[in-house]
């Protein structure tokens, strides 16, 4: 059970930051994961009044505020048109609609959870995070940073030409994933992101140009390379060996789907 001594709706990012750096303070987001803990929060900081619940778009990028819900990105037609519905596919099996109406993109990315479908799909895009003090940095860099007291303001997805496909394996619908897999092509480079290993998602690129010529043989070779480059572990949802097998299967399926290979 979580107990909160003080609840504050911040009036500015500066106020939120000043409150957050104090020991025992915490940004609460949708609070769906936090409430499952057993700790005491001295000051719970809500960003709901800061206008960060919008998806904005221009000719160069999408700007997704930290308080945008998973349901918002699931339903956003422009974002899903750009990603060939990969965004929608990445979140549609997360618990249920009521949950996705509350869970925030900012909380999902900030948490860098091992089971995160959201982190997996955004890492496969040309994505960045804007931090209040740290500025704009690539999501791939942020994913490997230690947590601190900065504030995630928004996710930025550049409209770089991309082909992307998302898939995951769950033992049953709405359960945590056994493995997540997002495969994309950006600037003629294939990249696959593997999450729920059960550790957090990692990005693997085709640095050896195995897919310079895309065919059955090269797709299989790249899928095996991704599996070999993705350390896996075992938990109640699946063994390490099973996850490694799934990585090969899902990577191969993703590429074939993107390239129209039957």
Query: Is 219's pLDDT higher than 90?
Result: yes
State the average pLDDT over residues 146-174.
95
Domain map (residue ranges) of the chain: 3-46, 55-158, 163-259
Q: What is the pLDDT of residues 233-253, one digit of tens each?
A: 999 999 999 999 999 999 999
What tokens were used for 162?
């991309």
- Specify whether the CB–CB gap between 50 and 27 falls below 8 A: no
Cα torsion at 105, 112, 177, 122 (round to 10°)?
A: 50
Give me the pLDDT at residue 134, please: 96
Q: What percent of the chain has pLDDT over 70?
A: 99
**Model pTM score:** 0.94
Give me the pLDDT at residue 166, please: 98
Tally of CB atoms within 10 A around 256: 17
At the topology level, CATH places domain 163-259 in: Enolase-like; domain 1 (3.30.390)
Q: What is the pLDDT of residues 60-119, one digit of tens each?
A: 999 999 999 999 999 999 999 999 999 999 999 999 999 999 999 999 999 898 889 999
At the topology level, CATH places domain 55-158 in: 3.30.465
Mean per-residue pLDDT of the chain: 94
Alpha-carbon separation of residue 67 from 26, 102, 153 (angstroms): 15, 9, 9
Q: Does this chain's domain 55-158 share its CATH topology with 163-259?
A: no
Give me the pLDDT at residue 10, please: 97
Tally of CB atoms within 10 A around 248: 19
- Specify whether the CB–CB gap between 105 and 119 falls below 8 A: no
């Amino acid at each position: 059970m979580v107990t909160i001594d003080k609840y504050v709706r911040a009036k500015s990012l500066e106020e939120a930051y000043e409150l957050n750096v104090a020991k025992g303070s915490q940004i609460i987001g949708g609070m769906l994961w936090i409430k499952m803990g057993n700790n005491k929060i001295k000051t719970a900081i809500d960003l709901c009044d800061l206008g960060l619940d919008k998806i904005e778009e221009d000719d160069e990028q999408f700007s997704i505020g930290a308080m945008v819900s998973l349901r918002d990105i699931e339903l956003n037609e422009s974002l899903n048109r750009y990603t060939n519905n990969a965004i929608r596919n990445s979140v549609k099996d997360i618990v249920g609609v009521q949950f996705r109406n509350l869970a925030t993109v900012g909380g999902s990315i900030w948490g860098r959870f091992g089971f995160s479908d959201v982190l997996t799909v955004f890492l496969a895009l040309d994505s960045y995070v804007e931090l209040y003090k740290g500025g704009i940095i690539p999501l791939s860099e942020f994913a490997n940073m230690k947590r601190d007291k900065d504030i995630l303001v928004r996710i930025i997805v550049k409209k770089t030409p991309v082909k992307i496909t998302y898939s995951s394996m769950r033992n049953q619908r709405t359960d945590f994933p056994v493995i997540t897999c997002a495969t994309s092509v950006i600037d003629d480079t294939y990249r696959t992101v593997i999450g729920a290993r059960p550790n957090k998602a990692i990005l693997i690129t085709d640095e050896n140009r195995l897919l310079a010529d895309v065919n059955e043989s090269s797709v299989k070779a790249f899928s095996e390379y991704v599996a070999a480059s993705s350390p896996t572990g075992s938990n109640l949802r699946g063994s390490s060996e099973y996850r490694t097998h799934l990585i090969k299967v899902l990577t191969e399926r993703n590429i074939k789907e993107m390239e129209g290979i039957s």
